[in-house]
Amino acid sequence: MDKPKVVLGVSGGIAAYKACELLRRLTESGHEVRVVPTASALHFVGAATWSALSGNPVSTEVWDDVHEVPHVRIGQHADLVVVAPATADTLAKAAHGLADDLLTNTLLTARCPVVFAPAMHTEMWEHPATQENVATLRRRGALVIEPAVGRLTGVDTGKGRLPDPGEIFEVCRRVLARGVTEPDLRGRHVVVSAGGTREPLDPVRFLGNRSSGKQGYALARTAAARGARVTLIAANSTLPAPAGVDVVPVGTAVQLREAVLRAAPEADAVVMAAAVADFRPAAYAAGKIKKKDGQEPEPITLVRNPDILAEISADRARPGQVIVGFAAETDDVLANGRAKLKRKGCDLLVVNEVGELKTFGSEENEAVVLGTDGSETAVAHGPKEALAETVWDLVAERLS
Ligand code: CTP
């Protein structure tokens, strides 16, 4: 099989150096990459670097190798165009259909999915001109990833950072794997909870669970790659933030509930993948609980935590909102799943069987997704992203 052909557009921002890492990941995972930098990008990283890392010639202008008509051919033959970093200037040119160099010509001739990963100062990103250009590009079907928040060039911090190259690579991989030109969750806002809550006993101890957060992160990553605005409420996870995803860190079930209730009114869909502790210690000891010679420990009294999934399902923040729950079961998986779907009142329930090597911390998962309409969608053993894609397929169906 031919290698997938990726055009990596690089525009002139300091984050251009991070595109080297994206390029390396693309080539090492079997993609044929043609780098098309703008003239300004070459002020940051030279043509020799792009050429050596991609194994392909590099030009910025339409006047090189004219006999090969590169200004048309490169875009026509691409399976994916990704522009990282995309500056305010490149976004503006793309939105207005300008074509004064090889990259902008390529963007006009490409018929494949196009991903922009913007990076710029916060003021430039927030400027109405940039925001309107982004909205135009999204309306036309391009996937414009939200910039990350953090340190910018110099001493500034704010929104405008290029997301982690590894996470941009994941977006490219998902978009190529789906082979769909239009991001089908474009214009939708989804809320995903992930990880496991921790219920503190004293300043050094907590009651927790073994959830790694990987399934929730896969859901967030795949939704962003399908064009959704994603709020990821992450309980005690140390996984890297997926590109374009707004991460809200939380600790306890009560904090998770507050974050979900805050985000839900704007959400088209809420997916509760987090492992929420059903109980918490009735009391929190302000000082460390010490052992005492010759004395048995005090028993720990637990109280119930609020059931967030049941609460948001009973009291829908928006008409037509799709709510998805998760259930880990050890036996009678389907029967227990059906009963839980009814009890929780959500629209879909992802039921998976838990065992020693299954689910927790693993890269893979298998499950059945139960719907209130009686549907049963089995997802074979495979990457957590595959299960995530099925969940979004079912959510998208219900949203339309
Ligand atoms: N959940 C929640 N709030 C809780 C507990 C769970 O929102 N306090 C959500 C989880 O995020 C998950 C789903 O509910 O989506 C299933 O949780 P589970 O603990 O399996 O449900 P329970 O009703 O507690 O079932 P069981 O009796 O099996 O513990």
From the CB of 326, is ligand 1 less than 6 Å away? yes
Total domains in the fold of the chain: 2
Of these residues, 56, 105, 133, 209, which one is catalytic? 209
pLDDT classification of 358: cutoffs 50, 70, 90: low
From the CB of 311, is ligand 1 less than 6 Å away? no
pTM for this model (two decimals): 0.93
What pLDDT digit, counting tens, does each position of 30-54 carry? 999 999 999 999 999 999 999 999 9
Looking at the structure, do residues 224 and 337 belong to the same domain, yes or no?
yes
- Distance between Cα 83 and ligand 1 center (Å): 41
Instruction: Measure Cα distances from 384 to 138, 153, 224, 388 in Å.
Output: 27, 35, 15, 6
CATH number of the CATH domain containing 245: 3.40.50.10300
Looking at the structure, do residues 290 and 363 belong to the same domain, yes or no?
yes
From the CB of 278, is ligand 1 less than 6 Å away? yes
Residue 95 near residue 144 (C-beta atoms within 8 A) = no
Flag whether pLDDT at 359 surpasses 60.
Answer: no
* Interhelix angle 128-139/88-96, nearest 10 degrees: 50
- Residue 68 confidence (pLDDT): 80
Query: Considering the domain boundaries, does residue 184 fall inside one?
Result: no
What pLDDT digit, counting tens, does each position of 111-125 carry? 999 999 999 999 999
What would the mean pLDDT of 303-323 be, rounded to a whole number? 96
What would the mean pLDDT of 1-5 be, rounded to a whole number? 89
Q: Which residue is closest in CA terms to ligand 1's atom 29? A: 278
Q: Print the domain residue range for 293.
A: 189-399
H-run or E-run covering 344: helix 333-344
Q: Is 340 annotated as a binding residue?
A: yes
- Distance between Cα 393 and ligand 1 center (Å): 23
- Distance between Cα 157 and ligand 1 center (Å): 38
Looking at the structure, do residues 214 and 163 belong to the same domain, yes or no?
no
Active site residue 209: yes
Q: Is 309 annotated as a binding residue?
A: yes
Mean pLDDT for the chain overall: 94
Q: Is 93 annotated as a binding residue?
A: no
